[in-house]
Structure 1
Amino acid sequence: MDVVVNQDILGSETEADISEWLIEDGSEVTAGQALVELETSKVQVEVTSPMAGVITLIAAEGDVIEPGAIIARIA
């Protein structure tokens, strides 16, 4: 399953920076676990895991992402 940053997460913002990954690439995650912190010009938001599994990071800390961007995959 793809971890997608959508407009619901970003609110009215059009882009966000990946400020910090809270997990390591290849680690096991649980549903609802905090994965990453995103920073917009207005707020910092946390993205949680939609499911349990092993995560593969696609985006890196410091990357600027837009709505619809896939930042990781969980299998």
Structure 2
Amino acid sequence: MDVIVSQELLGSETEADLSEWLVEDGSEVTAGQAIAELETSKVQVEVVAPASGTITYVVAEGEVIEPDTVIAKVG
């Protein structure tokens, strides 16, 4: 399952920095677990896992992402 950063998560912002992964690439996560932090010009928000499984990063820390970007996969 794709981990997608939605426009709803970013609010009125048009982009965000993936400031930190909170879990290791390849580790097991559970649905609802905080897995990453995003930083916009106004707020810092957490991204949660949409499902349980093994996480695989698609985007590296420090990259700028736009709404509807897949940042990881959980499978």
Secondary structure of the residue aligned to 2:9 is helix
Identity of aligned residues (%): 69
- Secondary structure class of the residue paired with 2:14: coil
* 1:63 Cα deviation after fit: 0.2
Residue matched to 2:21? 21
Shift of 1:11: 0.2
Deviations 1:28-66 (A, max 9, x none): 000110000000000000000111000000101100000
What's the TM-score once normalised by structure 1's chain length? Answer: 0.99
Match of 2:43 in 1: 43
Alpha-carbon RMSD across the aligned residues, in angstroms, is 0.4
Structure 1 unaligned spans of 5+: none
Structure 2, gaps ≥5 residues long: none
Task: Write out per-residue CA displacement over residues 1-43 of structure 1, whole angstroms, 9 at most, x where no aligned residue.
Answer: 0000010100000000000000010000001100000000000
Match of 1:2?
2
* Structure 1: distance between partners of 2:40 and 2:66: 11
2: distance between equivalents of 1:24 and 1:18? 14
Looking at structure 2, the residues matched to 20 and 49 of structure 1 have their Cα atoms a distance apart, in angstroms, of: 14
- When the two structures are superposed, what TM-score results if normalisation uses the length of structure 2? 0.99
1:27-66 map, 5 Å:
27-66=27-66
